[in-house]
Amino acid sequence: MTGGPDVGPDPYGLQQRLVDFVTALRTKGIMVGTGETVDAAEAMTRLGLDERSILREGLAGTLTRKHSQRETFDEVFDIYFPPRVGRPRSAEQVPADFDVETLRDMLVETLAVADLDALGELAEIAVDRFGEIGGDPAGWSAKQTLDRVQPQNLLARTMGLRGDDDAVVELGGVSPRDQVRDLIGRFRERVEDEARRRTSETRGRERMVLTAVQAQTEHVDFLSANAEQLEEMRRGVRALARRLATRLSVRRRRSHRNTIDIRRTMRKSMSTGGTPIDLVFAKPRPSRPDLVLLCDVSSSVSGFSGFTMLLVQAMKNQFKKVKVYAFVNAMADVTELISVDGDEDGAGLQARILEQAHVQHGTSSSDYGAAFAEFVARDLESIGSRSSVLILGDARTNYREPGLDDLREIRARSNRTFWLNPEQENIWGTGDSAAFDYADVVEMHECRSVEQLGEFVSRLLPA
Amino acid sequence: MTRTMPFASVADVSERLAAVGYLPSDAIATTVFLASELGKPLLIEGPAGVGKTALAQAVSDATGSPLVRLQCYEGVDEARALYEWNHAKQLLRITASKDESWDETRADIFSEEFLLARPLLTAIRNEEPTVLLIDETDKADIEIEGLLLEVLGDFQITIPEMGTVRARHRPFVVLTSNASRELSEALRRRCIFLHVDYPDSDLEERIVQAKVPGLEHSLTKSIVRVINALRELPLRKAPSVSETIDWANTLLALGAVELDEDTMRDSLGVILKHRSDQEKAQKLLDMESALAR
Ligand SMILES: Nc1ncnc2c1ncn2[C@@H]1O[C@H](COP(=O)(O)OP(=O)(O)OP(=O)(O)O)[C@@H](O)[C@H]1O
Ligand SMILES: [Mg+2]
């Protein structure tokens, strides 16, 4: 029992708050209709405000239609129905000379006894004390707070204080070290929630939703996305490409600076009698990979394939060379057809491919076996020993011959071959899906949303 | 059409479901309450074996309303979902009619006596408030959704030969889905949405205690902990609440007092059905016992 949301004593009526909440959800891609808003209002009346978690579940039941919307829903809910407002009591009681070292000491003790309530209070204090950033109106930054508190560096001290033996793990249990890691993760989340909560009070809820809540399309299922959502995703494709590129360049810089090649340092030090004096830094990793994309563009998965092709195209300069093949039941090289600059709408792309490339003959249903065979017979040369091959598709063969041998050939010729399947893993292998047969040959990943795709693509590239 | 609102509050839902052996999370109790208050169908999605079907049964038990179930499958059609005429019986009746006019015969053979009511009609015609469970909706072809929208829209069914049947009481409707196919937006819009996931450890322990009362508390805890660890593995079929309960029953029957490695090894088949899953679990166990040593 956690109590109700703190909605008073502001003059802002509850109905208005609900309408604003719904509007905010819509800006994040959760398309709530009027009928549902009325239901939500009625739900609010019947459930009352005594119990915040019950209000949240009730509003989620009336306003969301899919589980994939839930994360966004919760983040927006936190902003419109915060657990409390204002400066937390915990922070008011803290003495003036309280510094970051004191907080860290307290944090270690709290982590050691796994006291979640105290952890929450420390997060409030930390944000209050160390998170404030200038500006008018003032704001609070989770990043600044965490940079100063550095909770991730408290693991060893906490383990020392706990004094238990990390090697003792109960069957199915979690090791003490992982428990502490998990608690540190929670502390971080609390800090993020608290910073968001306080900033939304001074800077306004709308603005907070705009900047601090991830757009829903990042989580939308490719397979169930409607035209509007797909459009949204495509509009975001360049931004995503840019984000991934930045993340990669940071990672590269960091890794090049820090990687010491232990073996070579040791070998070199042999000449100085074993004392390693000259650190040998690792050579930058091998150059950018070639990428070969084989995309099922049949209608069942075209949204997913279309988006991925655009993303890869937008990230072209991260790769040495990109080749894109598309197929329904015939394989065609479509590299030239994809341009992010031309028209960014994927519906146009899909039409262009179907029109201008020979990707199907006869029926319009996919035939993986036939497409792979054609590729192996004609285009295998495009794969080199440095190439990463990425296959996109739902592995639904329409009960046709899956072409496992050809797939093996593709894998053998490439450096690495992956398969991204936009279907939820728990329905792989059902009906005409040959997912498990293919997964025996190449590494298959579930890839249902922009978010998962982004994760995957950035792992694909060398650090 | 009357609306029955059998529950006084969210807490009342929790208590009464618990009294019939179903322990709901906050999300479950809240949405059941709202579905009943707003008179809207409750659409439940979630992985296999998390208690979607059992929830409908529990609402029926808790409110003393009969449960009518439409089990969906590929190819389920109006004749299976709504009603059909008993042809064989109608033909018999026709051959037996000697001195009647054809009009009389027609009126007679398209009457109640020759009607086979299927779940949707049964639920609507029921004299008492009813829980209507439309189970595994995603297995049915998309066409059936049109029918559901119609029936769940105004709770009436028109039988051309007999007229329109209106519901006396609005049934409490539960639709379940495993999301093997996405249900249409139109259908979703009409429902209160509930996603049920695996319960948290605390709730799952209470479920095990309720379902398998004789089991030692410490053993319950171990079972739930191992099940949770297994759910973290990339398995083909993660163990669900049903498997947790089956396993608890098995261990009770075996007279186990603690969950040691041997016991686990011997009973792994109860929780994991695929060979490859058992192998993965075995690896995890080996690793952990190595750690523990
Ligand atoms: N909260 C709960 N309280 C009591 N029992 C539960 C609960 N959740 C699940 N169970 C038990 O778990 C078992 C499986 O539940 P059920 O068959 O309803 O799952 P399901 O979600 O309908 O699965 P499927 O998608 O495979 O049809 C039942 O025996 C049920 O009694
Ligand atoms: Mg079921």
Q: Is B83 helix (H, G, I), strand (E, B) or coil?
A: strand
Query: Dihedral (C-alpha) A59, A62, A65, A67: value to the nearest 10 degrees?
Result: 30
Express as a percent the part of chain B with pLDDT over 70: 96
Token pair for residue A260?
């010491």
A63: which 2 tokens?
């306003």
On the CB side of A9, CA atoms within 13 Å amount to 0
Whether chain A has a CB inside 8 Å of the CB on B8: the answer is no
Question: Does the structure show a pLDDT above 90 at A243?
Answer: no
The beta-carbon neighbor of A42 closest among B38, B195, B222 is B38
For range A426-437, the mean pLDDT = 91
Confidence of residue B112 (pLDDT cuts 50, 70, 90): confident
Partner-chain contact A58 B30, CB within 8 Å: yes
Residue B59: pLDDT over 70: yes
Q: What is the pLDDT of residue B209?
A: 95
Per-residue pLDDT tens over the stretch A192-221: 889 988 888 887 777 777 666 655 566 677
A201–chain B nearest CA distance, Å: 28
CB-proximal residues (5 Å) to ion ligand 2: B 53
Q: Are A51 and A34 found together in one domain? A: yes
Q: Is residue A25's pLDDT more than 60?
A: yes
Amino acid making up residue B83 = Y
HSE value, Cβ hemisphere, 13 Å, CA-based, for A279 = 6
The total number of residues written for chain B in this structure: 293
φ, ψ of residue B43 to 5 degrees: the values are -100, 120
Q: Which atom of ligand 1 is nearest to the CA of B55?
A: 18
Highest mean pLDDT (candidates A362-366, B22-26, B287-291): B22-26
3-class secondary structure, B91: helix
Max mean pLDDT range (A5-9, A421-425, B11-15, B104-108): B11-15
Which segments within chain B are labelled E, that is strand? 42-45, 67-71, 83-85, 115-117, 131-135, 156-159, 163-166, 172-177, 192-195
B156 has pLDDT over 50:
yes
Using a 6 Å cutoff on CB, does residue B54 contact ligand 1? yes
Beta carbon of B41 within 6 Å of any ligand 1 atom: no
pLDDT of residue A253: 53
Same domain, residue pair A74 and A94: no
pLDDT for B67: 97
Residue B50 Cα to ligand 2 midpoint, Å, equals 8
Q: With beta carbons less than 8 A apart as the criterion, state whether B27 and B176 touch.
A: no
What local confidence, expressed as pLDDT, does residue A212 receive? Answer: 64
Domain shared by A147 and A102, yes or no: yes
Between CA B278 and CA B265 the distance in angstroms is 9
Contact B73, B35 (CB under 8 A): no
Give the span between the Cα atoms of A120 and A116, in whole angstroms: 6
Q: Is residue B57 over pLDDT 90?
A: yes
- A130 with A40, same domain? no
Question: A68 and A119 share a domain?
Answer: no
Angle, CA of A228, A234 and A237, to the nearest 5°: 150
CB B22 less than 6 A from any atom of ligand 1: yes
Kindly give the distance from the C-alpha atom of residue A31 to the centroid of ligand 1, in angstroms, as a whole number. Answer: 31
The count of other CB atoms within 10 Å of the CB of residue A405 is 14
CA atoms within 13 A on the CB side of A156: 2
Judgement on whether residues A363 and A260 belong to the same structural domain of the protein: no
Give the single-character DSSP code of A168.
Answer: -
Instruction: For residue A229, tell me if it sits in a domain.
Output: no
The amino acid at residue A164 is D
Shortest alpha-carbon distance between residue A287 and chain B (Å) = 32
Distance (Å, rounded) from C-alpha A421 to C-alpha A444?
A: 7
CA B164, B170, B171, B176 torsion-angle sign: positive
In this structure, are residues B259 and B251 in contact, taking their beta carbons and an 8 Å threshold?
yes
Judge whether A2 lies within some domain.
no
Asked whether residue A394 falls in the same domain as residue A435, the answer is yes
Architecture of the structural domain at B10-77+119-195: 3-Layer(aba) Sandwich (3.40)
Choice among A250-259, B164-173, B248-257 with the minimum mean pLDDT:
A250-259
Q: For residue A67, what pLDDT band results from cuts at 50, 70 and 90? A: confident
pLDDT band at A6 (very low <50, low <70, confident <90, very high): confident
Cβ–Cβ contacts within 10 Å for residue A190, how many?
A: 20
Residue of the nearest CA to atom 20 in ligand 1? Answer: B49
Q: Give the distance from residue A441's alpha carbon to the nearest chain B alpha carbon, in angstroms.
A: 16
Sign of the alpha-carbon dihedral angle for B28, B33, B34, B39? positive
* pLDDT score for B181: 74
Same domain flag for A336 and A422: yes
Q: Please tell me the predicted confidence (pLDDT) of residue A271.
A: 53
Same domain for A454 and A391: yes
b/e burial code for range A194-226 (CB count within 10 A of at least 16 → b)? bbbbbbbbebebeebbeebbebbbbbbbbbbbe
In a domain, A226, yes or no: no
What pLDDT was estimated at residue A354?
A: 83
The pLDDT assigned to A37 comes to: 95
Give Cα separations from B52 to A262, B136, B236 (angstroms): 55, 10, 20
Q: Answer whether A266 touches B (CB < 8 Å).
A: no
CB contact under 8 A, B185 and A65: yes
A182 touches chain B (CB under 8 A): no
Residue A328 lies in a domain: yes
A61/B194 touch (CB, cutoff 8 Å), yes or no: yes
Distance CA A14, CA A4 (A): 14
Contact A432, A421 (CB under 8 A): no
Is there an atom of ligand 1 within 6 Å of B171 CB? no
Q: Which two tokens stand for residue A193?
A: 């929630």
Find the helix or strand (DSSP H, E) in which B87 lies. helix B87-96
Residues of B in contact with A46 (CB under 8 A): 33-34, 37
Do residue A306 and residue A338 come from a single domain? yes
Q: 């902990």: which residue's tokens? A: B225
Q: What is the structure's pLDDT at A252?
A: 57
The token pair at A365 is 């249903």
Which residues of chain B from 208 to 237 reach within 8 Å of chain A, CB to CB? 222, 225-230, 234, 236-237
Taking the centre of ligand 2 as the mean of its atom positions, its distance from the CA of residue B56, in whole angstroms, is 10
List the Cα angle A179/A155/A159 in 5-degree steps. Answer: 70
In this prediction, residue A9 carries a pLDDT of 52
More confident residue, B102 or B147: B147
Would the CB atoms of A170 and B30 count as touching at under 8 Å? Answer: no
3-state class percentages of chain B: helix first, strand second, coil last, to nearest 5: 55, 15, 35
Transcribe A379-443 into DSSP letters.
HGGG--TTEEEEEES--B-TTS---HHHHHHHHHHSSEEEEEE-S-GGGTTSTTB-HHHHHHHSE
The structural domain count of chain A equals 4
User: Is the pLDDT at B279 greater than 90, yes or no?
Assistant: no
- B96 versus A151: the higher-pLDDT residue is A151
Q: Residue B101 above 70 pLDDT? A: yes
Separation between Cα atoms, residue B153 and residue A378, nearest integer Å: 56
Q: Cβ separation of A57 and B30 shorter than 8 Å?
A: yes
Ligand 1 proximity of B23 Cβ (cutoff 6 Å)? yes
Cβ distance of A169 and B292 shorter than 8 Å: yes
When pLDDT is averaged across residues B65-89 and rounded to a whole number, the result is 92
Whether A430 is covered by a domain: the verdict is: yes
Q: Do residues A408 and A418 both lie within one domain?
A: yes
Chain A to chain B Cβ contacts (< 8 Å): 98
DSSP per-residue letters across A109-148? HHHHHT-HHHHHHHHHHHHHHH-EE-SSS-EE-HHHHHHH
| Domain hosting residue A451, numbered range | 237-255+287-460
A172 in reach of chain B (CB within 8 A): yes
- How is B117-145 classified by DSSP, letter by letter? E-HHHHHHH-SS--EEEEETGGGS-THHH
Query: In angstroms, what separates the C-alpha of B262 from chain A's closest C-alpha?
Result: 12
User: Does residue B234 have a cis bond before it (omega within 30 degrees)?
Assistant: no
A35 vs B258: which has the higher pLDDT: A35
Average pLDDT over residues A437-452: 90
B207 C-beta closer than 6 A to ligand 1: yes
- Interface probe, candidates A30, A32, A171, A182, chain B, greatest B C-beta count within 10 A: A171
A339 touches chain B (CB under 8 A): no
Contact B149, B43 (CB under 8 A): no
Ligand 1 neighbour B194 (Cβ under 6 A)? no
Interface contact flag, A66 B193, Cβ < 8 Å? yes
Q: Do B26 and A53 touch (CB under 8 A)?
A: yes
> Which of the pair, A280 or A46, is modelled with greater confidence?
A46
pTM for the model stands at: 0.67
Distance between CA A62 and CA A37 in Å, rounded?
Answer: 8
Model confidence band, residue A122 (pLDDT cutoffs 50, 70, 90): very high
**Owner of token pair 């300069």:** A317
Q: What is the ipTM of this complex?
A: 0.90
Cβ-defined contact of A43 to B34 (cutoff 8 Å): yes
Is residue B262 within 8 angstroms of chain A, CB to CB?
Answer: no
Q: Average pLDDT for residues A247-260, to the nearest whole number?
A: 53
Is the torsion defined by CA of B207, B208, B211, B216 positive or negative? negative
User: Hey, where are the domains in chain B?
Assistant: 10-77+119-195, 83-117, 201-292
> Using CB atoms and an 8 Å cut-off, which of residues 86-105 of chain B contact chain A?
none
Beta strands in B65-130 (DSSP E): 67-71, 83-85, 115-117
Task: Give the model's pLDDT for residue A251.
Answer: 56
Q: Are residues A281 and A292 in the same domain?
A: no
